[in-house]
Amino acid sequence: MENNDDRRLQRAGCDEIRAIQASVIAIRKARGVLNPSDCELGTDEFEWVVNDYLEELERAMLASGWYGPPGGDRRSGQQ
């Protein structure tokens, strides 16, 4: 059974990831770059935009320390 501290940490992590995602979307919009929600699902444009968006999201997660090497501590990037 999880204790309340574990749940608070999980919630904080989810909130942080959502904030990173919202930041990437806002920055792309400010730069005039399409976001996945701007494209029609299933089109070549959608696929290209999604891939570009995911690359930017991954870079933002790496920069924030959220995304580390496989098997490592995802928050600190330490193994």
Q: Rounded CA gap, 65 and 77, in Å?
A: 6
Q: Rounded CA gap, 65 and 62, in Å?
A: 5
Parse the chain into domains and list their residue ranges: 4-64
Summarize pLDDT for 15-46 with one digit per residue, the tens.
889 999 999 999 999 999 999 999 999 999 99
Q: Rounded CA gap, 61 and 42, in Å?
A: 26
Summarize pLDDT for 3-19 with one digit per residue, the tens.
667 777 677 778 889 99
Question: What is the value of pTM for the model shown?
Answer: 0.72
**66 within 8 A of 74, measured Cβ to Cβ:** yes
Question: In the chain, how long is the greatest CA-to-CA distance?
Answer: 46
